[in-house]
A and B are shown apart, each in its own frame.
Chain A
Amino acid sequence: MLSDFTFVGILVLIAVLLPVVGLGLSWLIRPKKPNPVKQSTYECGIETIGDTWVQFRAQYYIYALVFVVFDIEAVFLLPWAVAYDQLPLYALTEAVIFVLILALALVYAWRKGALRWS
């Protein structure tokens, strides 16, 4: 068990090394001749108007909120699914009720207009 995660850790280490080596190698050999025009922010060749980090509309954020609710609930389903063949029949009914509640939440969010893009 522990060794399994040691193996994963070794792969993670190598995966971290890869981009570091790439960036480092490139840093060593690439030319560096910066100037203000090159370093300006790209906006189709025009100087930018206004600030990028402005207050932004919340459409994306609402999706994120709904997601958090659903994702946590979905996690509860995983142990149930793994142990499914050892569970008695009422586990099925319980799970179905659970999924129904999930679906109800979705319908609620839907009706509330959280999923409408406006």
Chain B
Amino acid sequence: MSDTTFEKLRAQFPDAVLDVSEFRGDTTATITRETFLDVARFLRDEPDLQYDLLVDLTSIDRRDLGIEPRFVTVYELYSIPKNHSARLKVPLPWDNSTEMPQCPSVAAIWPTGNWHEREVYDLMGIGFTGHPWLHRILMPENWVGHPLRKDYPLGGEPVYFSSDRDNPRFAHLGKPIMEGPSYPSKLPDDVDSETHLVINVGPQHPATHGVLRLAVELDGERIVSVNPDIGYLHSGFEKTGENKRYEKFIPYTDRMDYLAAMNNNLAYVLTVEKLLEVEIPPRAQYIRVILAELQRIASHLFWIATHAHDVSGTIHSLLMYALRERERILDIFEMFCGARLTTSGMSVGGLRQDIPGAFPDAVRSFVSEFWKRLQDYEAMLTRNPIWLSRLKGVGILRAEDAVALGVTGPMLRAGGVPFDLRKAQPYSSYDHFDFDIPTATEADSYARYQVRMREMEQSLRIVEQAVNRLPEGPFCTDDRKVAPPPRSEIDLSMESLIHHFKLYTEGYKPPVGEVYGMAENPKGILGFFLVSDGTAIPYRLHVRGPSFVNLQATDLMARGHLLSDLITIIGTIDVVLGDVDR
């Protein structure tokens, strides 16, 4: 499918394509910087290609690979109508005379590029010509350097505390001894704080679901603009990943979208497995599906709990009801892997261990009970006039805007686009199960509410089928280069012992190459971009957090609404800040 893309591209722009390569089914074309914008526009508009979704935009610093030019930007494209994907790479020649290499901005072609480019600018130090407002996005405004560059030193920086209670010199509690440097992020130039009320919603606010700051410009109670300020929770997962072995990054994925750890695990291990090209036994695939779908239900339950809470006030009962059910899912996770929230439940090559004997029954009893619970929730909300009046017509995000902004998951499907990776590009044997993709057409908050409620039902169907048809067999691959041998074998076989030793001291070494892996998370597409230089440590690891991309739509959705609606809108985006800031 991608072959035709690049044939067409070559025919249209004979000089633009420097190179086309294929690795693990991913086709990558290298495009010259000068022709890049034309190529991008062509790929988006050509009727046979229709790359309407810019899934991801990232960059690689190839200093340690010894390739010139040093910096390259990477664009992962996907076409929803045609269901094919392609990757573009744009090398950026840089002669050190300018402060940083420059790349043309795609924000006018795919508006989702706006934040992605800010992220690349912030972390990698690549300028984008023609970008509407190029400022740091994750790091503070006063940060020195660009952390993802390979010459950026590893190590700590001073952490400022406002009081030091252990120090006898400052025994008076709460007396500030050292003011943490405060550099409030800049607001866009068109924000008018003279005649309008500019109010901060967050970072310390009950309704922002974490440390998210929205500088809201208000005219009366009507929203003029919303300016999200993120990065409070940024912990440099990408840099960490580039200094750890592949397997060791799994616990970090738990902490990205911490409400959907299993889904994160799944997306990551699928990407590494794609790089390694290992076969996963069907039993492991089914169990992964069960875990991922239970996690999807848990994530949606947390969403409905907090959303109802936001719209209603602290005392609304649905919060506790939904969390009670989520607790049962966490019990099932605990039964499987001992952990509840940060599960690290999957490992490259399959699972860490097989499910315990009581697991299928626990899942079955949960499923049968949850069908009834779901109806209770619907009885509380679906036709409640106040609920309807708060959600209907609020925060409309039309399908074309959603695609342009890269918004995926339930938010996109609520606009009527039946795009779900589980159907479009089935992974982990999702094609074995019978389920539907719920969509709606109104594209408002109520449509998103309904889509998520229906999605829980579909997840239940998948779990039901998977647990009833669970195949027998091994729970992880027998490729000893990837997965450790069972404990009993180590006592008997010298070879197993060596495998075990090698795996835990050196890890596995994937071939040189780069892959992009995606999976449908509860919040949208979670993507991992891995570049292997042949060692056991990824050379480049990039994460596309669905919440990060979806959050970009806040401004568009909230303009012209009332302040109360902003709370509804944040709720329906279902944002998790661990996923936004990474």
Chain A residues in the interface with B (C-beta under 8 A)? 33, 35, 37-38, 43-50, 52, 54-57, 59, 117-118
Contacts and interface: CB of A to CB of B under 8 A. Distances in A.
Given A43-B199, A56-B220, A57-B220, A49 B193 contact: yes
Contacts of B203: 44-46
Contacts of A47: 182, 184
A112 B289 CA distance: 59
19 contacts: A35-B176, A37-B162, A44-B202, A44-B205, A45-B203, A46-B184, A46-B200, A46-B203, A47-B184, A49-B187, A49-B200, A50-B198, A54-B194, A54-B196, A55-B195, A56-B197, A56-B220, A57-B220, A57-B222
Interface in B171-195: 172, 174-176, 182, 184, 187, 193-195
B142 to A, nearest CB: 15
Contacts of A117: 562
Interface in B203-229: 203-205, 213, 215, 219-222
Nearest to A33: B174
Nearest to B198: A49
Interface in B372-402: none
B215 A49 contact: yes
B116 to A, nearest CB: 25
B218 to A, nearest CB: 9
B201 interface: yes
Contacts of B215: 49
B221 to A, nearest CB: 7
Contacts of A38: 174
A33 B172 contact: yes
Nearest to A37: B176
Contacts, number: 53
Nearest to A52: B197
A65 to B, nearest CB: 16
Contacts of B204: 44-45
Interface of B: 162, 172, 174-176, 182, 184, 187, 193-205, 213, 215, 219-222, 562
B480 to A, nearest CB: 52
A57 B219 contact: yes
A43 B197 contact: no
What's the dominant secondary structure at chain A's contact region? loop
Nearest to B205: A44
Q: Which 9 A-B pairs have the closest CB atoms?
A: A57-B220, A50-B193, A45-B204, A49-B198, A44-B200, A46-B200, A44-B204, A44-B205, A43-B200
Contacts of A33: 172, 174-175
A58 to B, nearest CB: 8
B523 to A, nearest CB: 24
Nearest to B204: A45
B199 to A, nearest CB: 7
A118 B451 CA distance: 31
Given A35-B176, A56-B220, A59-B221, A50 B200 contact: no
B30 to A, nearest CB: 44
A46 B220 contact: no
Contacts of A35: 174-176
Given A37-B176, A44-B200, A44-B213, A50 B221 contact: no
A57 B221 CA distance: 8
Given A35-B174, A44-B202, 20 more contacts: A35-B176, A37-B162, A37-B176, A43-B199, A44-B200, A44-B201, A44-B204, A44-B213, A46-B184, A46-B203, A47-B182, A48-B200, A49-B193, A49-B198, A50-B198, A54-B196, A55-B195, A57-B220, A57-B221, A117-B562
Contacts of A118: 222
A81 B103 CA distance: 79
| Most chain B CB neighbours (cut-off 10 Å) among A37, A49, A52, A59 | A49
Nearest to B215: A49
Contacts of B202: 44
A48 B196 CA distance: 13
B374 to A, nearest CB: 35
A54 B200 CA distance: 16
B513 to A, nearest CB: 45
Contacts of B197: 50, 52, 54, 56
A59 B215 CA distance: 22
Contacts of B175: 33, 35
A35 B203 CA distance: 22
B176 A59 contact: no
Contacts of A57: 219-222
A59 B174 contact: no
A55 B175 CA distance: 37
B561 to A, nearest CB: 12
Contacts of B220: 56-57, 59
